[in-house]
Structure 1
Amino acid sequence: MADVVWLDDEQQRTWRTFLAAAHLLDAALDRQLRHDSGLPHAYYQTLALLSEAPGRSLTMTGLARLLRSSPSRLSHAAAKLEDEGLIRRFRRPGDRRTTIVELTDEGVRTLEDAAPGHVAEVRRVLFDVLRPEQVGQLRAIAEAMLGALDPEGAEPRYTDPGGTGNRN
């Protein structure tokens, strides 16, 4: 333990402030979505990613990777979304080992109903409190963190939503 470089007071304050903000951000988005549409934030993200995919469908493995979720956690969420008629799952024709997840028309309607409130909350708690240069700084910080957390770029990165109808 003698080689440990402890955080100085400013780093410790920054670290704890960052953790608190990240926790409260996720809780605020989840609370707003549950209140307005009955969807947990994780389910909203699932529907949003499927809405942006070609043919509104992805493999379970691909969706889990984009969500940074375990396959078992996604299976549980998918079962609930399927019970609600928001997605459907089926085996890929010719490859019974691959499960496809497809956004249903009802899922699209649910997402479209939930999106305005969600984006308003994202604006309220994040973008409305930042100056434009801080938005760029936040993105640069997040990209630097992604570089340290995933130096080989193995994890999918966010792609530019230009024209894709991204509603995150």
Structure 2
Amino acid sequence: MTAREEGVRWLDAEEQSVWRSLLRAQSRIEEELDRDLQARSGVGLVEFGILVALSEAPGMRMRMRVLADSVIVSKSRLSHQITRLERAGYVRREPCEEDRRGFWAILTDQGLEVLRAAAGGHVTRVRERVFDRLTREQVRQLGAVMRLLEPGDGAGGGPNPR
């Protein structure tokens, strides 16, 4: 053990099992939802998330840097995804008048149609894969856990006394 590792609080067997299970579940759920969306609508999970974020934004437009934070992707990946969505006619980019370096991503009517067509099937798969497997109480508990783990203002994010 190196000097840097001396103060490490290693995961115990239960924590390690839960951690690995969380990673597997997240990966498999994302993979299944991505594959399903691709088959149904021709857009992947990240692109679908971009369309959703834009549809919920005022004027169906968002600054690119805000959109990147909203859909939890790097700015370079967002730029690549927006380029793909532009080519398909689902999104357009416009320069921001207030900041000459910034750009708006704007949902087009065609993009909104694709989103509406894909949304029903997507929510059905989310229900099947996640929520139909849980009781209402488990959904509440999962929500509470996710709020603790989600990055943000740190509210309630301290260690949990066992």
TM-score, normalized by length of structure 1?
0.85
Match of 2:129 in 1: 125
User: 5+ residue gaps in structure 1?
Assistant: 154-168
Q: Choose the corresponding residue for 1:143, options 142, 147, 160.
A: 147
CA distance in 2, matches of 1:8, 1:95: 50
One-letter code of the match for 1:142?
Answer: M
Q: Does 1:75 align with 2:79?
A: yes
Q: CA deviation at 1:151?
A: 4.4
Q: Choose the corresponding residue for 2:56, options 52, 60, 63.
A: 52
Match of 2:45 in 1: 41
Q: Choose the corresponding residue for 1:4, options 2, 8, 12.
A: 8
Q: CA deviation at 1:37?
A: 0.8
Q: Which has the larger radius of gyration?
A: 2
CA distance in 2, matches of 1:44, 1:37: 9
The answer to which structure, 1 or 2, has the higher relative contact order (CA under 8 A, 6+ apart) is: 1
Q: CA deviation at 1:150?
A: 3.8
Q: Does 1:62 align with 2:66?
A: yes
CA distance in 2, matches of 1:93, 1:4: 50
CA distance in 2, matches of 1:16, 1:26: 15
CA distance in 1, matches of 2:22, 2:69: 25
CA distance in 2, matches of 1:31, 1:137: 28
Q: CA deviation at 1:94?
A: 4.9
Q: Choose the corresponding residue for 1:110, options 108, 111, 114.
A: 114
Aligned residues: 151
CA distance in 2, matches of 1:152, 1:136: 20
Q: Does 1:20 align with 2:53?
A: no
User: 5+ residue gaps in structure 2?
Assistant: 156-162
TM-score, normalized by length of structure 2?
0.88
Q: Say which SS state the counterpart of residue 6 (structure 2) adopts.
A: coil
Q: Percent identity among equivalent residues?
A: 40
Q: Deviations over 1:58-81 (max 9, x none)?
A: 111111111122111111110110
Cα distance change on mapping 1:152 and 1:131 into 2, 3 Å: closer
CA distance in 1, matches of 2:32, 2:87: 26
Q: Which runs of 4+ in 1 moved over 4 A?
A: none
One-letter code of the match for 2:12?
Answer: D
